[in-house]
Structure 1
């Protein structure tokens, strides 16, 4: 009797403790080098990798648990010559918001080059048989934007639809987020772009995942890149079709400024955003208020409520 009563009391205490844990407890406990901005997460065999904004396109290698990280060699030791053709004012070898996914036996990494506040931008592509081999092929330009366009060709996200077809979502500010179908042989656009989200105060960093008959679009809104003063946050909506319309929990379209808040940060982690979804987790950066506002990698298990909405 005593053993049973003690067990019940212990279980109740554990349940109470879990209920009052701070929001940060939902993040994986990471160690090592976790400096990252706009991370994309990939699992290859028993290893984890993260690709992020920075000189030459930054790479972090994780252990089998995804909890301990070390800095790996960057992809570009020097910028390809074709970059300057499309983005002449790019800061030297500065690569933004990469997105890594496995498809058709290869690893594809889309990335952006631009200059801050400009939509003279380009999305490029590299590929490899395996990340761990470290041998990358430059697949060149995917798409571009100029001051003549009403969109910005940055923040790419490779999405594979329920039928196995590849698509590319992208965009930042201007007229918002777009999606275009890709040719599976070239992994470059075929057909016209479709608008999937826009917001007068800006929206960027699309990340789309499919779950139980729905496509879920995650995006970042508000002010990025200001350290602890950042007001970045992650929103979402869902659609039965990969091209939308995407609606939030209140039924408002993301084309009309809608979006349910997924993560707005907490006392330590300011301005979460630049998210990526895959392998059952959501990765994003946030600014660490305990470390001078430096951007760091956050990873959480991605969960689903009984009525089909994402949480962590």
Structure 2
């Protein structure tokens, strides 16, 4: 298999603190440059930001100030040979919803491959000492699903609990979003599979973050991928336990269709979703630009929290 390298050498930041760009002090970051994106995931190394998103070989963008973005080489130049053993129709190097995190001194990048509209899917993993250094290592298969499963192995999200243990949330449609604990060494599943959110019309794209005694589950609902006709929305709930139950602001369990709407879009930005929460104070997502023929576009906001501990823009 062939990987590309990001053409830059950076030392990994010594602190996980986010340095919000000077030009992005407002809640809505005024982004420029190459903004095309779907299902974005952010990571910050020093003064440099990276964004990974759905596309050929895992698409990557870089920003040296957090606001002006440009494309750098993708992760996979060619599909790894093992993909076809789990998703036989996956021959186009089409990778969905990557999720990037720093954990235990290494950068872990989960991603999914799938046949569209089917739960013949797989989640894979690559890792590196830093994004800037490149040299991604193929860590292989994490979890797979087939038509025999009632859930779907896509939309992975790495979350670390209050005790420092890694977990993986994932899932889409069928019986909804799942959660499993990961082995700290292999970063692959160990133990039970938990159900944490379900909805009759679908729920997907989990992003979980821990703050002040609560785990917050953000997810996307309704119709994606239809340009300006998309009805995607970002919803959330919270729990004192990482395995749930996650309740919305009205106390409705997200296993029973609950979820308080954070973002339903507006006249310009249609169908926001595919969200990623970074360091509890930044949210990235895509939305379809009504002024540009519904092009999927990267949006970033400061994420704020009200006095009751609920998220808001």
Tell me if TM exceeds 0.5.
yes
1:92-145 deviations in Å (ceiling 9; x for gaps): 100000000000111000000001100000000000001111210000000000
- The residue aligned with 2:39 is 38
Q: How does 1:147-186 map to 2 (within 5 A)?
A: 147-186=147-186
In structure 1, what is the Cα distance between the partners aligned to 2:174 and 2:276?
22
- Per the alignment, residue 84 of structure 2 pairs with 84
CA distance in 2, matches of 1:196, 1:93: 30
Structure-1 residue corresponding to 2:206: 206
- Between the aligned partners of 1:162 and 1:62, the Cα distance in structure 2 is 30
Give the structure 2 partner of residue 247 of structure 1: 247
Conservation of the 8 A alpha-carbon contact between 1:62 and 1:68: yes
> Any conservation in 1 of the 2:32–2:69 contact (CA below 8 Å)?
yes
What residue ranges of structure 2 are gaps of 5+ in the alignment?
Answer: 1-25
Residues 91-102 of structure 1 correspond to what in structure 2 (within 5 A)?
Answer: 91-102=91-102
Q: 2:14 aligns to what?
A: none
Which deviates the most, 214-223 or 84-93? 84-93
Q: State how far apart, in whole Å, the 2-side matches of 1:266 and 1:26 are.
A: 16
Counterpart CA distance in 1 for 2:91 and 2:241 is 38
Q: Give 1:25-64 correspondences, 5 Å limit.
A: 26-64=27-65
Distance 1:110 1:61 in 2: 18
Contact 2:271 2:287 in 1 (8 A): yes
Q: Give secondary structure in 2 for the equivalent of 1:179.
A: strand
Structure 1 residue 190: Cα displacement: 0.2
**2: CA distance between counterparts of 1:81 and 1:136?**
16
Q: Which structure: larger Rg?
A: 1
Q: Tell me the secondary structure at the aligned position of residue 85 of structure 2.
A: helix
In structure 1, distance between residues paired with 2:277 and 2:41: 8
Q: Show the counterpart of 1:3.
A: none
RMSD over aligned CA atoms reads 0.8
Question: 1:27, 1:200 → 2: CA distance?
Answer: 32
2:119–2:145: 8 Å Cα contact kept in structure 1?
yes
Map of 1:284 onto structure 2: 285
2:133 counterpart of 1:141: no
Hey, what's the Cα distance between the residues in 1 that align with 2:48 and 2:115? 33
CA contact (8 A) 1:121 1:154 kept: yes
Query: 2:191 aligns to what SS in structure 1?
Result: coil
Aligned mates of 2:67, 2:148 — CA distance in 1 = 44
Q: TM-score under structure 2 normalisation?
A: 0.91
CA contact (8 A) 1:91 1:115 kept: no
Q: 1: distance between equivalents of 2:113 and 2:192?
A: 22
Paired residue for 1:265? Answer: 265
Asked if the contact 1:217/1:238 (under 8 Å) is kept, the reply is yes
- Does the CA contact (< 8 Å) of 2:37 and 2:53 recur in 1? yes
Q: How far does residue 46 in structure 1 lie from its aligned partner after superposition?
A: 1.2
Indicate conservation of the 8 Å contact 2:39/2:53, yes or no: yes
CA distance in 1, matches of 2:99, 2:275: 10
Give the CA deviation at 1:38.
0.2
Deviation at 1:91, TM superposition (A): 4.6
Aligned partner of 1:296 in structure 2 is 297
Distance 2:64 2:311 in 1: 26
Q: Which has more helix, going by share of residues?
A: 1
Shift of 1:27: 2.1
TM-superposition CA deviations, 1:213-260 (whole Å, max 9, x none):
100000000000000000000000000000000000000000000000
- Contact 2:87 2:120 survives alignment (8 Å): yes
CA distance in 2, matches of 1:299, 1:121: 29
Report if aligned partners of 2:84, 2:91 keep a CA contact under 8 Å in 1: no
